[in-house]
Amino acid sequence: MTPVIRLRGLRNQFGRHVVHDGLDLDVRRGEVLGVVGGSGTGKSVLLRTIVGLQTPAAGSIEVLGTDITTATETERDEIGRRWGVMFQDGALFSSLTVRENVEVPIRSAIHLPAETRHALADLKISLSGLPWMAGDKYPSELSGGMRKRAGLARALALDPDIVFLDEPTAGLDPIGAAEFDRLISGLSRSLGLTVFMVTHDLDSLHACCDRIAVLAEKRVLVTGTMAEMLEVDHPWVHDYFHGPRARAALATQGAEKG
Ligand SMILES: Nc1ncnc2c1ncn2[C@@H]1O[C@H](COP(=O)(O)OP(=O)(O)OP(=O)(O)O)[C@@H](O)[C@H]1O
């Protein structure tokens, strides 16, 4: 099956600082891919490059069959409507209500009567697990977890094929984080969404990722399931997946399953 995202020979650099070099990655349709790596290995830069917020120095980025590095502006706009992005703090417009925030991408894509647009936004808000009255609130009136859900609702506004999440559980308490993991898993399964998730959260990797991609040495060092990660003989990968936090996450998952 053709991957929904196909990166080949990707290179990103800032001045003389090379972040990625010869980076290859395939993301499969309908999977939840967790992207991990040490601090500064370029996880966020990778996400930003795929969604066109960062221009790579070299390489190709195919998303849903279109190479976005060579696509025309119109092609890029079209493809951009088929993905949604949720940034770390939700990146909501503070002067707009949650409903209005969710309506921003809808307005830019399609002309709809106001009532239909509100109803569509409310549907996404409830799909993201927010109470219905959250639509009338401003971001500053919401908890961090609710803001993240609002950011997710906006990312889902145009029924995307792919959702990009940048550290979705960062800053959430363990219960909130586990709820968010379940939400992502459920949405991926029920909507057939492909999820590209940058995370540090080992619990999330266990709970909702089908595969994991490890960034190290300026490239994707290895991809595979959690079981495969446990077998990788590389110092960072070994320490990450066998460290005390990893053992705790494994124990939590075991307890939940048992
Ligand atoms: N706009 C920029 N200008 C210059 N350097 C940048 C820019 N954006 C990112 N970098 C550098 O690129 C490297 C990768 O950054 P990135 O934020 O992608 O790391 P990360 O893996 O997401 O890290 P963390 O896990 O700490 O969030 C870092 O060294 C960072 O300083």
DSSP letter at 36 equals E
pLDDT, position 27: 98
Instruction: State the virtual CA torsion across 226, 194, 47, 127 in degrees, nearest 10.
Output: -110
Rounded distance between C-alpha atoms, residue 83 and residue 163, angstroms = 6
- Quick check: CB of 12 below 6 Å from ligand 1? no
pLDDT, position 254: 63
CB 67 within 8 Å of CB 60 = yes
* pLDDT (mean) for 144-155: 92
**Nearest CA, atom 8, ligand 1:** 45
- With cut-offs at 50, 70 and 90, classify the pLDDT of residue 255: low
Of 12, 21, 43, the one to substitute when testing ligand 1's pocket (max ligand atoms within 8 A of C-beta) is: 43
Cβ contacts of 254 within 8 Å, gap of 6 or more: none
What is the per-residue pLDDT across 24-60, written as a single tens digit (0 to 9) for each?
A: 999 999 999 999 999 999 999 999 999 999 999 999 9
**Nearest CA, atom 17, ligand 1:** 44
- Quick check: CB of 99 below 6 Å from ligand 1? no
- Quick check: CB of 55 below 6 Å from ligand 1? no
Cβ contacts of 170 within 8 Å, gap of 6 or more: 88, 200, 201
Cβ contacts of 69 within 8 Å, gap of 6 or more: 55, 56, 59, 60, 61
Cβ contacts of 37 within 8 Å, gap of 6 or more: 43, 214, 215, 216
- With cut-offs at 50, 70 and 90, classify the pLDDT of residue 1: confident
Rounded distance between C-alpha atoms, residue 160 and residue 65, angstroms = 15
What is the per-residue pLDDT across 50-70, written as a single tens digit (0 to 9) for each?
A: 999 999 999 999 999 999 999
**Nearest CA, atom 9, ligand 1:** 45
pLDDT, position 124: 93
- Quick check: CB of 14 below 6 Å from ligand 1? yes
- With cut-offs at 50, 70 and 90, classify the pLDDT of residue 256: low
- For ligand 1, the distance from its centroid to the CA atom of residue 22, given in whole angstroms, is 17
Rounded distance between C-alpha atoms, residue 9 and residue 218, angstroms = 11
pLDDT at 221 over 90: yes
* pLDDT (mean) for 221-234: 93
What share of the chain has pLDDT > 70, as a percent? 95
Ligand 1 atom with minimal separation from the 167 CA? 27
- Quick check: CB of 35 below 6 Å from ligand 1? no
Rounded distance between C-alpha atoms, residue 236 and residue 55, angstroms = 28
The domain spans of the chain are: 29-57+74-228
- Quick check: CB of 20 below 6 Å from ligand 1? no
Name which residue leads in pLDDT, 247 or 124.
124
pLDDT, position 257: 56
pLDDT at 258 over 60: no
Of 14, 51, 219, the one to substitute when testing ligand 1's pocket (max ligand atoms within 8 A of C-beta) is: 14
- For ligand 1, the distance from its centroid to the CA atom of residue 216, given in whole angstroms, is 13
CA distances from 207 to 94, 102, 122 (A): 32, 27, 27
pLDDT, position 95: 95
* pLDDT (mean) for 96-109: 94
- With cut-offs at 50, 70 and 90, classify the pLDDT of residue 199: very high
| Model pTM above 0.90 | yes
Rounded distance between C-alpha atoms, residue 149 and residue 223, angstroms = 28
pLDDT, position 158: 92
**Nearest CA, atom 1, ligand 1:** 14
- Quick check: CB of 48 below 6 Å from ligand 1? no
Of 21, 45, 48, the one to substitute when testing ligand 1's pocket (max ligand atoms within 8 A of C-beta) is: 45
* pLDDT (mean) for 118-140: 92
29-57+74-228 has which fold?
A: Rossmann fold (3.40.50)
pLDDT, position 144: 86
**Which tokens belong to 199?**
């995370």
